Chains A and B, each alone.
Chain A
Amino acid sequence: MKTIRLNLAFFVTLFFLFIVKDAWATDAVADAAEKLQSNMNIVWTAVAAFLVFFMQAGFAMVEGGFTRAKNTVNIMMKNLMDFSFGSLAFFFIGFGLMFGKSNGLFGTEHFMLSGYDAMSSDWIWTFLIFQTVFAATSATIVSGAMAERTKFSAYLVYSIVISAFIYPIFGSWAWGGLLDGGGWLEKLGFVDFAGSTVVHSIGGWLALAGAVTLGPRIGKYGPDGSPRAIPGHNIALAALGVFILWFGWFGFNPGSTTFADGSIGRIAVTTNLAAAAGAVTALITSWTILKKPDASMTLNGVLAGLVAITAGCASVTPVASVLIGAVAGILVVLSVLFLDRTLKVDDPVGAVSVHAVCGAFGTLSVGLFNTENGLFYGGGFRLLGVQALGVLTAFIWAFGLGIALFRLLKKTIGLRTSAEEELQGLDIGEHGMEAYSGFQIFITQ
């Protein structure tokens, strides 16, 4: 009885489908496909955002490993709190400045996402979390360059200012059009797919401003100005951090499609090739110059390749991505040595070389290798010029504001800890505890 009834229902349904399929079935299929695509976009972008979030752990491990054991609590707290303060500052202020309807200089709406139904399942929430983790990536770059000598309270103030103002306003010029904004750089045709300039150079130039304003750590330079090594305390942690960052970058670059299709895989390929090439050339460069295959430089080389390919990962060929990564790997070693030996800027983890220098190079390389209108593809110098303008603007904006901000902090709450505290370690001075309680730690330098 039951079977007959079911069969009957089946045939009736089939009959109706057959009759009316031209009327609505195609529409229904198209609707379903569109809904599926849009939900897949949301899933992919959200997963990518979570991967980028995990990069915070990578930064914490790299910076912790490359510095001394007596400052590890401080590094962990800086990485924890720049993400926490940064998330709040970006939600309340930054997001609106970056993606609201622009007045020409910055966005003026969407603060706290007002105007959106707070309980909806709109795309906007995925977009917000994705953009939040990007803002936090930019903010956390500075921590490493200012490591081992910065007052914790001053660092907290800095992390709010970058996430609320410095990063979002520049971001609105290049990326505002992703939502309701529309900045002058993107209108010129500036290409920075996932943020070599917008995220990494901005953070990197601020890191330079911070390191310059602070001055070197005690004992970094001898009386005659010659640089001294201050070895990091845990290369295993630093390597773990680099692997985590590499992993996170598969969200950073492929996630910036915010669209679920085959380009995710293609961008993952360009990203991976550049990282690998950066590691190889940094290895060769350090082996040639320093006579040993230096682990810390090779780890920096991976990050250099990743930062450099971030701008062009969607618009260059895989072979071009190898070239871009390879040049970045050489560049990062030379830049670290130049900063250390010639400029005498003390950047304990190489943040300026990795993020500012390779970010600038990666952005310029799009002007050469962009398959649509790059110089090497017959597009002439126009794109290269626009890219250079973006790079230069980022430098002036971030380094200029950085110097002003850090000088202001120096004059008000103080930027640097006392010499006594620096020698004893910031863990005890700033936080009243040690990272490795029960272990013997040499603090002879």
Chain B
Amino acid sequence: MKLIIAYIQPEKLNAVKQALYEREIYKISVTNALGCGQQRGYHETYRGVEIEVNLLKKVRIEIAVNEAFVQPTIEGIIAGARTGNIGDGKIFILDLVECIRIRTGETGSEAIG
């Protein structure tokens, strides 16, 4: 089991969701995130005073999958989010120790699927 975390451009969320749906990956958590990588934020001023560090609005996606779905998930995220420009985002993959479905008490692969 893996936990896949990706940071993408907010406006690409719809495209990523669609690309994942096409690959039969339907379970997804999305949160608002602020951050900056190579884009280094943006410029903002308020009443004439500059605001120095501005974190960009990003979207954080979390998907827990069984091994067989790791590759399709990565492909789906890339297919939806890639423009070729700086700021497209990153994907992190973590080993997932356990997963429990609260309603039934199922654990492991069954609970994820």
Contacts and interface: CB of A to CB of B under 8 A. Distances in A.
Interface of A: 218-219, 423-424, 428, 432-434, 437, 440-445
A445 B11 contact: yes
Interface in B1-54: 9-11, 13-14, 32, 42-46
Contact of B57 (A219, A437, A443): A443
A428 B43 CA distance: 8
A423 B11 contact: yes
A227 to B, nearest CB: 15
Given A440-B32, A441-B57, A433 B45 contact: yes
A428 B42 contact: yes
B23 to A, nearest CB: 19
A274 B87 CA distance: 52
25 contacts: A218-B11, A423-B9, A423-B10, A423-B11, A424-B42, A424-B57, A428-B42, A428-B44, A432-B44, A432-B45, A433-B45, A433-B46, A437-B46, A441-B32, A441-B57, A442-B10, A442-B32, A442-B59, A443-B10, A443-B11, A443-B57, A444-B13, A444-B14, A445-B13, A445-B14
Given A219-B11, A423-B11, A444 B44 contact: no
Given A433-B45, A442-B10, A444-B11, 12 more contacts: A218-B11, A219-B11, A423-B10, A423-B11, A424-B42, A424-B57, A428-B44, A432-B45, A434-B44, A440-B32, A444-B10, A445-B13
Nearest to B46: A433
Contacts of A440: 32
A434 B57 CA distance: 12
Given A440-B32, A444-B59, A432 B43 contact: yes
B113 to A, nearest CB: 27
A191 B91 CA distance: 66
Question: Which of the listed residues B44, B46, B57, B59 has the most CB atoms from chain A within 10 Å of its own CB?
Answer: B57
Nearest to B42: A428
Residue among B10, B32, B45, B59 with the highest chain A CB neighbour number at 10 A: B10
Contacts of A434: 44
Nearest to A434: B44
Contacts of A433: 44-46
Interface in B55-74: 57, 59
B83 to A, nearest CB: 10
A219 B44 CA distance: 26
Contacts of A443: 10-11, 57
Nearest to B12: A444
Contacts of B44: 428, 432-434
Nearest to B9: A423
Contacts of B46: 433, 437
Give the 3 A-B CB pairs with smallest separation, nearest first. A444-B13, A432-B45, A444-B10
Contacts of B43: 432
Contacts of B11: 218-219, 423, 443-445
A437 B44 CA distance: 11
Contacts of A219: 11, 14
Query: Quick one: which of B11, B42, B43, B46 has the most chain A CB within 10 A?
Result: B11
B38 to A, nearest CB: 15
A219 B11 CA distance: 9
Contacts of A437: 46
A433 B42 CA distance: 11
A439 to B, nearest CB: 10
Nearest to A429: B42
A361 B13 CA distance: 42
Nearest to B44: A432
A424 B41 CA distance: 12
A445 B10 CA distance: 7
- Identify the interface centre among A218, A442, A445: most chain B CB within 10 Å of its CB: A442
Nearest to B32: A440
A219 B14 CA distance: 10
A223 to B, nearest CB: 11
Contacts of A432: 43-45
B85 to A, nearest CB: 9
A445 B14 CA distance: 8
Nearest to A228: B14
Nearest to B30: A444
Contacts of B45: 432-433
A432 B11 CA distance: 20
A339 to B, nearest CB: 23
